[in-house]
Amino acid sequence: MATSGIGEALDDRPGGAPSAVAPPENDFDRLRELLVGDERRALDAAQARIAELEAAQQALPRRLPEALEALNREGEPATARVAGALAEPVAQALGSAVRRNRQSLIEALFPIIGPLIRKSIAEALRNLVADLNAAIESSFTLRGLKWRIEAWRGGVPYAQVVLKHRLAYRIDHVFLIERDSGLVLQRESSPDLAPLDADAIAGMLTALGDFVGDSVGQGDGGTLESLSVGEHLVWVVQGPRANLACFMRGVPPAALRALLEQRLEDIHAQWANAPDEDLRTVRNSVAWHEQLQPMALLRDATAADEGPARRPSRWPLLAVLLAILVALAWFLARRERWDARVEALRAQLAAHPGFVLTGIEERPWRALTVHGLVDADAEPPAALLAAADLGGVVPKLAATGYVSGDDAVVARRAMRLLAPPPTVRATVERGVLRLDGVAPEAWIAAARERAPWIAGVARAEFSLAPATDAAQAARAELDALAARLPQLEVRFLDAAQPAPGADAAVAQIAEAARRAQALARTAKADVELVAVGTNDETGSDATNARVRALRAQWLAQALAAQGVAGAAPETGPQPVDPLANRRTAHLRLAVGEARP
């Protein structure tokens, strides 16, 4: 009836799947089954699917290694696809890890990077030291001079030229590429290197050449000559039917490009009779194989760079050598002239009475200092030094005092100490002092007593006649006082400020002045007392003249205070004074002719 009808309807639901729900026990359950039964079953299936996915997700870490192994077995396309998909996430993850855990990454990589860096630096320093050693060894060779001329002409440092020539280079790969099609006709590589993808490189060079010719060249014949690819320098030599590309490391010489051009010309000459479509013969050409071998190119380029065919002209070297010889000759001539002048000065100083030369300290054309011993009574060697022609160098004197035994010096010493009258002549020969002339008896007696004690006098001989006339004796004594008075000096510290001991000096000058006035009356002669001031070399002419006047006026006033009348300061231009260049003042006695 109704109940059985509902049950049959439930059994015949769409899809024909048997119900997994227990038969309803009452009408309410049957009604609920009719209304929401399908939704409940769909929900249960979804929950079961979710539970299955969660279980699979939890088992994924255990299944991932097996999946990667299966992926590797599938081959390169699958692995390349996975690598491309993981590249960006892995890069981002690595960057994030470096930013967060930089210290940990450094600690992990330090044992690997440290030795690599040290090894690289050591190798670079070893090569640099070898290059510098070679540069030092070649500095004074013909090659070194040639490199110096090259550095001078190019305006670059010498070390840069040395490194350019000494830095090793090598040829890694050589490609012969057909110009129109970009097809590789011949390729050669060094034995220790793996061959490159020739077709890819040929396509790259052809594309770059077309780009340069079309866009950069602008129709003016511009072509691709060289480019850098990583650590390789690529030279491209253009030809009408084929181009030659050479991959190198280091700094190749210019001779290598000339050799590559010659090789390409030879290849075109061999290719002249070959048909354009017969490329098999071109590729299998043994001659081309030998010509494009990297080692053969290195050998031929080195021979061309050092051989006589590439040797530069020797005229620059000869010009430099000539300039060096001229400079050396000029230096030697100038030094010879300097030495000759110094030797002439040395001979003059050695012959100068009262001076003993102990040495000459010289810096050619810059300074010269004379060391020696000089007697106080000898002629100063300043005039001799000033007359020495040393090319503008003013010699300096560094002398120490001593007592000389030269006859000329002993005679000057005797004249200074004995102060003879003008009627007495003193000569010294081999240490013997001879006094001739007429002198007062008092002076003769004093001279006989004092002469043997003069330094350098071995014996004294007198041929003196006593003066019988009182006036004549007084005149002789006046002349002696006139010679002795300038030796009595008053020293000054600055301007008109006398030095300590000035009062005693003024007293001696005053006593000699009073004696001169008394002798003038006996000799019936006029005398003039003149106070003279002197100065050193410092100060201007006007300042020195004012200082001399102040010192002379000070001495005249001091003598007036001592009772010496008639002493007047000197005015007007001064005569040549042997006591100049000193801060002093002295009294000069001028004796006139005797009155009848």
Per residue in 220-231, pLDDT tens? 556 778 888 777
- Judgement on whether residues 261 and 324 belong to the same structural domain of the protein: no
Rounded to two decimals, what is the model's pTM? 0.35
Judged against a pLDDT cut of 70, whether residue 287 lies above it is answered with no
> Is there a single domain that holds both residue 387 and residue 349?
yes
The number of distinct structural domains making up the chain is 5
Give backbone dihedrals phi and psi of 492, rounded to 5 degrees, phi first: -125, 145
In the predicted structure, residue 142 carries a pLDDT above the cut 80: no
What is the residue whose two structure tokens read 């190198």? 248
Helix (H) or strand (E) holding 184: strand 184-189
Q: Is residue 362 part of a domain?
A: yes
Per the domain annotation, does 190 fall within a domain? yes
Nearest to 268 by CA among 252, 250, 291: 291
- Asked if the model's pLDDT at residue 8 lies above 50, the reply is no
Q: Are strands 497-498 and 525-533 parallel, antiparallel or unpaired?
A: unpaired
DSSP letters, 354-423, are TEEEEEEEEETTTEEEEEEEE-TTSPPTHHHHHT--STT---EEEEEE-----HHHHHHHHHHHH---TT
Is a pLDDT exceeding 70 seen at residue 530? yes
Q: Sorting pLDDT into bands at 50, 70 and 90, what band is 136?
A: low
Q: What is the C-alpha separation between 117 and 124, in angstroms, rounded?
A: 11
- The highest-confidence range among 67-71, 127-131, 578-582, 586-590, by mean pLDDT, is 586-590
Distance (Å, rounded) from C-alpha 261 to C-alpha 270?
14
- 201 is a domain residue: yes
What integer pLDDT is reported at residue 12 of this predicted model?
A: 44
Q: Give the C-alpha separation, 437 to 479, whole Å.
A: 14
Q: In the 8-state DSSP scheme, what is residue 383?
A: H
pLDDT score recorded for residue 63: 73
Which residue matches tokens 């009836």?
Answer: 1
CA distance 525 to 515: 13
pLDDT of residue 291: 67
Q: Which helix (H) or strand (E) holds 318?
A: helix 315-351
Please give the residue that has the higher pLDDT: either 583 or 268.
Answer: 583
Task: Identify the band that residue 513 occupies on the pLDDT scale cut at 50, 70 and 90.
Answer: confident
Asked if the structure places residue 144 within a domain, the reply is: no
Of residues 230 and 48, more confidently modeled: 48
pLDDT for residue 311 is more than 60 = no
- Kindly tell me if the per-residue pLDDT of 510 is higher than 80: yes
- Token pair of 9 as six digits: 């309807």
Contact 369, 351 (CB under 8 A): no
On the question of pLDDT at 10 being above 50, the answer is: no
pLDDT higher than threshold 50 for residue 9: no
Residues 244 and 290 in one domain: yes
Q: What is the CATH number of the domain that holds 493?
A: 3.30.1330.60
Assess whether 306 and 322 both reside in one domain.
Answer: no
Question: Please, which pLDDT band fits residue 480 given cuts at 50, 70 and 90?
Answer: confident
Does the pLDDT value for residue 138 go beyond 60?
no
**In the predicted model, what is the mean pLDDT of residues 494-503?**
84
- Asked whether the predicted pLDDT for residue 525 surpasses 60, the reply is yes
Asked whether residue 457 is domain-assigned, the answer is no
| 502 in the same domain as 541 | yes
Of the chain, the end-to-end C-alpha distance in Å amounts to 202
Shared-domain flag, residues 503 and 573: yes
Q: In what order do the strands lie in the sheet with 459-466?
A: 424-429, 432-439, 459-466
**Is the separation of the CB atoms in 37 and 44 below 8 Å?**
no
296 and 266 in a common domain: yes
pLDDT band at 459 (very low <50, low <70, confident <90, very high): confident
DSSP secondary structure code for residue 182 in this structure: -
Three state DSSP letters for 496-532: CEECCCHHHHHHHHHHHHHHHHHHHHHHCEEEEEEEE
* 537 within 8 A of 581, measured Cβ to Cβ: yes
Supply the mean pLDDT for the chain.
76
In a domain, 234, yes or no: yes
CB-based contact 236:175 (threshold 8 Å) = no
What is the structure's pLDDT at 84? Answer: 75
More confident residue, 93 or 572: 93
| Domain limits for position 42 | 2-58
260 and 332 fall within a common domain: no
Largest CA distance in the chain: 203
CA neighbor of 528 nearest in space, from 556, 562, 492, 561:
556
Among 367, 382, 401, where does a domain finish?
A: 401
**What pLDDT does residue 334 have?**
87
Please state, in angstroms and rounded to a whole number, the distance separating the CA atoms of residues 313 and 310: 9
Determine the pLDDT at residue 221: 56
The mean per-residue pLDDT over the stretch 499-518 comes to: 87
Residue 215, in any domain of the structure: yes
Between CA 548 and CA 562 the distance in angstroms is 21
For β-strands 232-237 and 489-494, DSSP reports them as unpaired
Instruction: Read off the pLDDT band of 80 (50, 70, 90).
Output: confident
Q: What is the pLDDT of residues 374-393, one digit of tens each?
A: 888 888 888 888 878 787 78
Give the pLDDT confidence of 425-455 residue by residue, as tens digits: 888 888 888 888 877 777 888 888 888 888 8
Could you tell me if residue 551 is inside a domain?
Answer: yes
pLDDT of residue 514: 87
pLDDT tens digits for range 333-369:
888 888 888 888 888 888 888 888 888 888 888 888 9
Q: Band of the pLDDT at 4, cuts 50, 70, 90?
A: very low
Q: How far apart are CA 123 and CA 57, in angstroms?
A: 53
Q: Are residues 292 and 364 in the same domain?
A: no
Q: Which helix (H) or strand (E) holds 145?
A: helix 142-154
In which residue are the tokens 């060094």 written? 190
Residue 394 CA to residue 484 CA, distance in Å, equals: 34
pLDDT of residue 439: 79
Same domain, 93 and 196: no
DSSP, collapsed to helix, strand or coil, labels residue 127 as helix
Please report the pLDDT score of residue 564 as a whole number: 85
Assign residue 272 the CATH number of its domain.
3.30.450.70
User: Does the pLDDT of residue 111 top 80, yes or no?
Assistant: no
Scan for tokens 């000494």, then name that residue: 166
Q: 193 has which bridge partners?
A: none
What percentage of residues in the chain have a pLDDT greater than 70?
A: 76
324 and 263 in a common domain: no
In this predicted model, what pLDDT tens digit does every residue of 145-191 receive, in sequence order? 777 787 777 777 766 676 666 656 788 888 888 877 778 877 788 87
Question: Which pLDDT score, from 0 to 100, does residue 17 have?
Answer: 42
Are 72 and 193 members of one domain?
Answer: no
Please identify, among 253, 282, 310, the residue that sits at the C-terminal boundary of a domain.
310
Please check the confidence at residue 536 and state whether its pLDDT lies above 50.
yes
C-alpha dist (Å) from residue 551 to 536, 541, 587: 13, 15, 11
Domain termination residue (choose one: 337, 368, 401): 401
